[in-house]
Chain A
């Protein structure tokens, strides 16, 4: 909560990140697997649109859809939307991210599992094919 007694801006980002990581966990890539692969999703940009307030402990639905990715999956665009239970859209978060090799600290194309997890999820109608940032993988 913030000074205005509603959910603060960074809390929306936190809820969005929680749902993203839960998504990976429930789709065959638990957090331990990221550690084993020495790989992690890294967010380079967040865009947050605030529409309606959310109050303390109000029940919310947080959705996740794919708004874009590069052919090999090295770059992605994820969209979280936060709704009240009556369906009112409160906030839309669009996050651009890359996959980071935790050993080399370089951007890499992801293994098949995380790429497939995103590839086969619903896409937004403004879905964008992104340019790849990993030229050596040819995507």
Chain B
């Protein structure tokens, strides 16, 4: 499974034109980091800053 991080999508959105923005939104819906975490696709841990 391959995915783009949230930060990388922000860059795509910045350089995209109108039609790309639609594609970005669709991609974001399925690749949002928190979506991946919730679906247990992306390994993650909740921690406290120290």
Which A residues form the contact surface with B (CB < 8 A)?
Answer: 1, 7, 11, 15, 18-19, 22-23, 49, 51, 54-65, 79, 81, 83, 87, 89, 92, 121-127
Contact = CB atoms under 8 A, between A and B. Distances in A.
- Of A18, A23, A60, A65, most B-chain CB atoms within 10 Å: A65
Consensus secondary structure, chain B interface: mixed
B8 A63 contact: no
Interface of B: 1-8, 32-34, 36-37, 41-50
Contacts of A89: 5-7, 33
Contacts of A126: 8
Contact of B44 (A62, A87, A123, A124): A62
A121 B43 contact: yes
Nearest 5 CB-CB pairings of A with B: A125-B4, A63-B44, A64-B43, A58-B49, A54-B49
